[in-house]
Structures are given as C-alpha cells and as structure tokens.
Amino acid sequence: MARQQSPAVGAPGGSPAGAEDRWSLVFAAGLLSFVAMLDMNVVNLALTDIANAFDVSPTTAQWAVLGYQLPLVALLLPAGRWLDQVGLRAALLLCVACFALCSTLAAAAPWASWLIAARLAQGAFGAVLFVLMPVLAATSVRPELRGRAMSVPATMGPLGAVLGPVIGGLLLDHVGWRAIFLVKLPVCLAAWLITRRNAPRVGKRLRLPDRGSLGDAALIGSAVAAVMLGLTLAPDAPLWLLLVLPSAPLLLIWLRRPGGRPVATVLRVSRTAPVNGSVLTLAAGFAATHFLLAQHLRREGGVSATTTALTMLAFPLGMVVAGRFGGRLADRWGARPTALTGATITTVGLLLLVPLDTDWSSPDIAWRLAVAGVGMGLNGGPVQALVMTSAPPGQLATAGSAVQLSRSLGFALGPALGTAATLYGATEIAGVRAGLTLAGLTAALAVALLTLHHRTTKGGKPADRTKSTTTTESTESTTDTDRTISSPA
C-alpha cells in the first residue's frame, strides 16, 4: 500500500520532519494481535492430550493455559509504564523473537514443568506485545486515520481468539498437541521482518524494568489470580468464591503506589475509565458466550468438533466483514457513536441466544453469533481509537496497556463467569441459559458505560478527538512515543 505524507511532526532532536503513514506496521500490529489472542485459546483443546502425554492431572495440565494468562494480565500495566521509557522498535523486535522462542521451547517440552515454565515466560513477553499493538497501530498513521488503523489489530485479535479452538482441533486430530505451539511461528516471523524493515531506528535504548514495576506486577498478578481461581473453582465448591475478596485491597494498594498513579492519572485526565470498562464487559460477555456454546454443542447437541468449529466461525466472519467499515465510520462520524452502535448490536446478538434449546440447529445458533460478530467488528477499532486519541501527551503506551488489560481481563474472566452462572440452572440446559443471560447482561453494561462516557465529556473537552482539524493540532499532540514510530528512518 502506498505511503501517504502525514502532517509534519517534530523529530526527536527537535527539527521538523515529514512523517509517513506506515500501513505495513499497522498490518504487523494486526498479525501480533492475532497470534497473541490465538495463544490464549488454542491450548484449551489440548489439555487432555497434554495431561496424558506427561501423565499428570487435569489440574496440572491446566497450567499450560493459566501459565500464559496470569503473567500476561499481571504485566500489562507495568509493561506500558516500561514502554513509555524505551525505544518501541527495539522492544518490539526483542519481544517478538522471545515470544517465538518460548513457543518453540513449549513444543519441545520433555516434561510438564518445562512446559509450564515456557508458558510463564511466553505470557510475560505476550504482555509487552499486547501493549505494543495499539501503540504501533496508532502511531504509524496520521491522527485522522487512527480509527481505520486501530480497527486492524482490534479485529484480528478477537479473530485469533475465536479461531483458536478451530485451529487447535484440526492440529490435534491430524498432527498432535505439540503443533499448536509451532503454528504461531510463521506469523511471528512475518511480523518481525516487517518491523525490522519498516520501523524507523529512532527512540530510546532498552533498559531493564525497575523494582517498582516488578512490585506492581506482583500485586496485580495476585489480585487477578485470586479472581480467576475463585471463579474457576466455584462450580465444584461455592466457598472458593471467597478467594475473590483479597483482590480489592491488593488493587487499592497498587493504585497508591508510583506504578498505579500514572494509570489513574491517564484515566482521570482522558476520562476514559467508562470506555475501558466497556471493553472489559463486552469482551467478558463474548468470551462467556463462546465458551458456553462450544460446551453445549459438544455435550447437549452431540455434534462433531468440525461442526462445532464451523458454527462458531459465524462470529469472526461477521466481525471481519463489519471491521472493514468500523474504522472508516469512526473516522467519518466519530469513534464514540460507532463504538456505541457496535456494542448495542453485539448485546442484541448475545441476548438472542438466551432462549437456547436442544432443538436448535447449528444454523439457528450461527446467525445469532453473526449478529454479535458484526457488532464486535464495529466496536473494536473505534473504541480503541477513542482511548488512544484521548491519552495525555507522552502516555500512549500507558493508555494502550490499560485498554489491553481491560480486554484481556474480559477474555480471561468471561468463561469463569459463565461457568459460575451455570450453578443456578436446575438442569444442564437451564444452567447454560443462565450463563448466556449473564453474558448478555454483561455486554449490555458496555452500552451503559459508553453512554456514561458521553455524559462525562459533554460539558468539557471532548474525549472523542479522532478527527484532527488542523495540522498544527496534530503537530502539538505528537509525543515522544509518537515520534518513535512515526518519524522517518
């Protein structure tokens, strides 16, 4: 795609320079978003095979998934703070290479502890990639094109999450469980080569995170682990829900620390706390629905893994189709109205699934999923552009880490919430309906939060600044982080 000249921005040294729209880097951000979200779901189907291969319990095998998710969520915000202080090009090249290396080590694991250690390390590098994706996309094009650019990783990420079980099932049936860790390597290589060739050699050098960041990671990780373990274990014994209680004081302690204060400042200054909340709740509603429907089709419906995969593909197909227009609509009409429309359509699609019955055929489920997918496609890019364009100067990575944490928490907590809700069903199908009802109401909360964001910004400076009115405003809003990517090589 041809590069277009963007408004002049200051080079790191202070001299003006003409920046370019680097759509190849936007595509690289989309590839990384796809592979990172794929990794959160593709391993789920292989847990039984992993347990049998290493002769361990299902609980131990589950750490092949939790070992990736826990450090990913725990390190998202500290990673954003670190990335605001280092060169993005060097950080991206390093973390993509290490992410791919950890996948290779996981595939070659001779025993379970090796596999879990590789997944823990992979989750740490995955956290940095999650933060880098929106920053890379947002700073590679002019501000007035950010809605379109942000739609690429925002669409390809959920696409990877939904396709994970499909790809995993095919590989397990025909190759074996080790292949699910190797399938990501070509995508990582492509993203690494694109970045190495097109990202400018501008920015600060890499440096190790400070001790404060490690302390922040420990607090956030402990809080998230408590919530995930409590919700996951609750179906067997509801008393496990008490594990959720320590999460609140741990987060309060973190917010009072130096690492938490910048995040609180970004949310307060940009007034995007409701937007981040909508990202979390919409992702949780989608993840819970996806998990419950897949289990229902295999157990109650008695359909094959292939039929289940094809049914679930209706969601990403709808999302991909709508995602092509979401960014354009955001650039033309504004990010908030487009994001709100998408969240509303997603909620309608999820609520249409609540009357689920054993007599429903796969097409009955598929068209409802397609409606929800269209909504997610319209919402993803605009809502991320809304957050990034509202970020204070010099804190793009912090803002990006906050929205990625919200989305990752939603994807991680959604299945646990859906499983916990099934406790309230007298029969198995009634339990699934209860879970789907909770998923739909959770998505509806995203609509309310986006509406709240409009009210909180109506009387002051609008947070929806996706459209840039003048070249001067674009120049003045360019930060050190922007220059790291946008300045020419």
Q: Which of 247, 232, 269, 272 is nearest to 393 (CA)?
A: 269
Please report whether residue 2 resides in a domain: no
Please report whether residue 10 resides in a domain: no
d(CA 305, CA 91): 39
pLDDT at 227 over 60: yes
d(CA 401, CA 181): 25
Please report whether residue 14 resides in a domain: no
Where in the sequence is the domain holding 437, given as residue range(s)? 20-486
Please report whether residue 421 resides in a domain: yes
Please report whether residue 6 resides in a domain: no
pLDDT band for 302, please (50, 70, 90 cuts). Answer: low
Could you tell me the two tokens for 19? 């920046």
Please report whether residue 11 resides in a domain: no
Asked whether the beta carbons of 289 and 439 are under 8 A apart, the reply is yes
Asked whether the beta carbons of 343 and 182 are under 8 A apart, the reply is no
Query: Considering its fold, how many domains does the chain have in total?
Result: 1
Asked whether the beta carbons of 260 and 254 are under 8 A apart, the reply is yes
In this structure, the dihedral spanned by the alpha carbons of residues 435, 437, 439 and 442, taken in order and rounded to 10 degrees, is -130
Min mean pLDDT across 12-26, 298-312, 342-356 is at 12-26
Please report whether residue 8 resides in a domain: no
For the domain that residue 319 is a member of, what is the CATH number? 1.20.1250.20
Q: What is the mean pLDDT of residues 402-411?
A: 78
Strand 16-17 and strand 9-10: the pairing is antiparallel
Q: Which of 319, 489, 488, 457 is nearest to 389 (CA)?
A: 457
Q: What is the mean pLDDT of residues 172-184?
A: 85
Please report whether residue 432 resides in a domain: yes
Tens digit of pLDDT for each residue in 107-143? 999 989 899 999 999 988 888 888 787 778 877 887 7
pLDDT band for 304, please (50, 70, 90 cuts). Answer: low
Q: Which of 217, 215, 244 is nearest to 229 (CA)?
A: 244
pLDDT band for 202, please (50, 70, 90 cuts). Answer: low
Q: Which of 287, 347, 26 is nearest to 161 (CA)?
A: 287
Give the largest Cα separation in the chain, rounded. 69
Q: Is 128 exposed, middle or buried (0-12, 13-18, 19+ CB in 10 A)?
A: buried
Q: Is 476 exposed, middle or buried (0-12, 13-18, 19+ CB in 10 A)?
A: exposed
Give the DSSP per-residue string, 228-262.
Answer: HHHHHHTTT-GGGGGGGTTHHHHHHHHHTSTTHHH
Tens digit of pLDDT for each residue in 70-113? 787 777 777 777 776 677 788 888 889 999 999 999 999 998 98
d(CA 144, CA 138): 10
**Residue found by looking up tokens 């309060």 in the block:** 252
Could you tell me the two tokens for 351? 């609520």
Q: Which of 4, 279, 265, 52 is nearest to 150 (CA)?
A: 279
